[in-house]
Amino acid sequence: MATTPLARPHHLSFSTILHSLSQTPHRLRKRMFVTWSPDQEMNQVRQRSGADMKRKLEWYDLVALGVAGMLGAGVFVTTGRVAHKVSGPAVFISYIVAGVSALLSSMCYTEFSVEMPVAGGAFSYLRVTFGEFVGYFGGANILMEYVLSNAAVARTFTEYLSHAFGVDDPKSWRVQVDGLAQGYNALDFPAVALIILITLCLCHSTKESSIVNVVMTVFHVIFFGVVIVACFANGNPKNLIEPKGLAPFGARGVLDGAAIVYVSYIGYDSVSTMAEEIRNPSKSLPIGIAGSVLIVSALYCLMALALCSMIPYDEILDDASFSSAFKNMVGWRWMGNVVGVGASLGIVASLLVAMLGQARYLCVVGRARLVPFWLAKVHPSTGTPINATIFLGICTASIALFTDLEIVIEMISIGTLLVFYLVAGALIYRRYVKLGGSGGVSSPLPTLLFLLLLTSTSIGFSLSWKLNGGYWWGLAMFGTAAIAITGIFHRKVPCNRSTAEWSVPLMPWPAAASIFLSVFLMASLKKRSFLRFVLWSCFITLFYALYGVHSTFHAEEMEMERGASEGNHGEPSPPQQGKLEVQGP
């Protein structure tokens, strides 16, 4: 395939900048809901990066990437804290609830990724469905979620590495600095060193990084099996019901725990961002995404059960909980060191995959000119998005250096749940609204009304559950309404046959259930998550209004100028952004 020449940079004088800002309302109206077609996303937009990413990955690479991306983050970062403070021994049920929601979301991701195998993941799926701003908003939120969760995982690495060397207090490996605010004054240099090493590895090659990951993942799964057997061998079933029963914090604690441990499933969507580097996307992506979610869900539940059977939930430590549990067992202190080694390697594999995915998200956002274009550069020899990898590595290292793990954990999950909610809604929209072609165009109003009513009933159900004391009449009313609305929509509105080689069965039920669970779990999060979300949303919206919309507008002008120039020389003009369909509502 011939590579489209990169557009010339658009140099702006001060007067031009002022003129552009004065045109902001007009450009927002013109650009916010403009969509690209899947074909343009896979060809014209992808070619803006210059060199193509190299297609070297197979289905087993994807399963290993998905498993590695989730395992380290889930068990070692959240299990001990949630068991001790939120869910008790029923933390394994929290993992089941979160896993069901992740599996439903993964089905939506799979259909999109098979139909449109590009590195942009949710950003690309939302942009071709709801338009530029929604895609940008979702992509920016998932990027922030990646950076925060990777910083949390890196700080957990320091805790387990200290246990691997027989140091019981991980804080001794951090440098306390007077004068900084509490929670930001423990500098974690081992976490920063790890992020720098992984960033350099990812800049070199995706395939070599994948080979390292496959080896580490095989070791990691074997290690998990050893830990599970050792925990159950030293465990006592009575610990699951003592001192206060299986669910000492009640059903509310189980579901609140599910919202927190949902961060454990950040990683499977990284598989979809590898779509441009897969040899056979239509076969490999469904296996890679769904397979990794199922494998990891089973391991999470077994690990959570094993930990809570070995030690009463109220004695589980928040920091390096698995290593600490073994060190408190007579004759098994050595196993605490072994767990520290295995957990450290698992965390390295998890970070490798997550940082692999986040760079590809940012690369595709850069292709769309919504952030500076140099972030979209793909190195011609390594075939990796080198600038995006380095930039996000610096951001992740900065947060990991200063921010306490407890603070980071409270701020994550909301962005992931929001994006999964949007992707499920986008799938329903694409399956029930005809966007053109031989079948003509159908009105989007019935589908938009359904999404609005489903979201409203989901919020009503969630608030009824969230309020102290619980409004059971609200749960019954809103739950029944959500089921009835979905049933009526399924019966009255015809579903378009998916053109993808793999599609979600029984539509719209799986996508509707994904929307319902995403809203419900978001409502269970802490206040700090919503505060972070509001501040970040304000920032990225302002950035879009002051930079993104103008950058894409000027990029459109350059595309049209180049197309006209090539047309004058008798050459075919590439697809032009100015001719895009406005498929949004």
Which of 27-31, 57-61, 120-124 shows the highest mean pLDDT?
27-31
Whether 323 and 449 share a structural domain: no
Q: Torsions phi, psi of 57, nearest 5? A: -90, 145
The DSSP string of 419-437 is HHHHHHHHHHHHHHS-BSS
* 362 CB burial (10 A radius; 0-12, 13-18, 19+): buried
CA Rg, the chain, in Å?
A: 24
Highest mean pLDDT among 9-13, 203-207, 505-509: 505-509
Residues 453, 320, single domain; the answer is: no
Residue-wise pLDDT tens digits, 394-450: 999 999 998 877 777 767 778 888 988 999 999 999 899 876 555 556 788 999 999
Q: Picking from 51-60, 113-122, 565-574, which range would have the lowest pLDDT averaged per residue?
A: 565-574
Measured between alpha carbons, how far is residue 444 from residues 165, 426, 513, 546 in Å?
60, 12, 21, 30
pLDDT in tens, 64-75: 878 877 776 567
Cβ neighbors of 279 (< 8 A, separation 6 or more) are 55, 56, 57, 58
Residue 558 has pLDDT above 80, yes or no: no
One domain, residues 279 and 355: yes
If phi > 0 it is left, if psi is from -120 to 50 it is alpha, else beta; for residue 82 that is alpha
33-44 in b/e form (b: 16+ CB < 10 A) is bbbbbbebbbeb
Within a domain: 1: no
* Higher per-residue confidence, 331 vs 584: 331
CA distances from 87 to 142, 281, 317 (A): 26, 39, 14
For residue 302, tell me if it sits in a domain.
yes
Tokens coding 369: 């000119």
581 and 546 in one domain? Answer: yes
| Strand positions, DSSP E, 53-189 | 175-176, 186-187
What distance lies between CA 454 and its chain's CA centroid? Answer: 23
Does residue 160 contact residue 323 with C-beta atoms inside 8 Å? yes
Question: Where is pLDDT greater, at 432 or 120?
Answer: 432
C-alpha dihedral (194, 259, 408, 225), degrees to nearest 10: -30
Which three-class secondary structure state does DSSP give residue 176?
strand
Q: Does residue 330 fall inside a structural domain?
A: yes
Would you say how long the chain is, in residues? Answer: 585
DSSP single-letter state for residue 477: H
Same domain, residue pair 126 and 208: yes
| 578 in the same domain as 485 | no
CA distance 296 to 68: 9
Does the pLDDT value for residue 4 go beyond 50?
no
- The predicted-structure confidence for 502-512, as pLDDT tens digits, reads as follows 888 889 999 99
Q: Are residues 218 and 335 in the same domain?
A: yes
530 vs 138: CA distance, rounded Å: 15
- Into how many domains does the chain fold? 2
**Residue 412, pLDDT score:** 76
Could you list the residue range(s) of the whole structural domain that residue 457 is in? 440-496+505-523
Across 172-176, average pLDDT: 84
Q: Tell me: do 453 and 359 sit in the same domain.
A: no
Query: How does residue 567 score in pLDDT terms, banded at 50, 70 and 90?
Result: low
- Single-letter amino acid code for the residue at 330: V
Quick count: other Cβ atoms within 10 Å of Cβ 404? 18
Q: What is the CATH number of the domain that holds 384?
A: 1.20.1740.10
- Shared domain for 353 and 490, answered yes or no, is no
> Among the listed ranges 38-42, 456-460, 466-470, 486-490, which one has the minimum average pLDDT value?
38-42
In a domain, 20, yes or no: no
Same domain, yes or no, for 541 and 487?
no
Residue range 130-134: mean pLDDT, rounded: 90
pLDDT tens figures, 282-310 = 788 888 888 888 998 998 999 899 888 88
The answer to whether the beta carbons of residues 308 and 91 sit under 8 Å apart is yes
Establish if 90 belongs to a structural domain. Answer: yes
Residue 21 falls inside a structural domain: no
Amino acid letter at 263?
V
Q: Residue 470: phi, psi to the nearest 5?
A: 70, 125
Instruction: Tell me the C-alpha distance between 44 and 496, whole Å.
Output: 26
Both 401 and 446 in a single domain? Answer: no
pLDDT-based confidence at 119, cuts 50/70/90?
low
Q: Give domain status of residue 60, yes or no.
A: yes
Residue 16 covered by a domain: no
Name every residue whose Cβ is closer than 8 Å to that of residue 307 and which is 6 or more positions away in sequence.
Answer: 79, 80, 83, 231, 316, 321, 322, 325
- Tell me the mean pLDDT in the region 341-366: 82
Per-residue three-class SS string for 356-418 = HHHHHHHHHHHHCCCCCHHHHCECCCCCCCHHHHHHHHHHHHHHHHHCCHHHHHHHCCHHHHH
pLDDT bin (cut points 50, 70, 90) of residue 363 is confident
**Domain match, 75 and 110 both:** yes
Average pLDDT of every residue of the chain: 80
Angle between helices 189-204 and 333-367 (to 10 degrees): 50
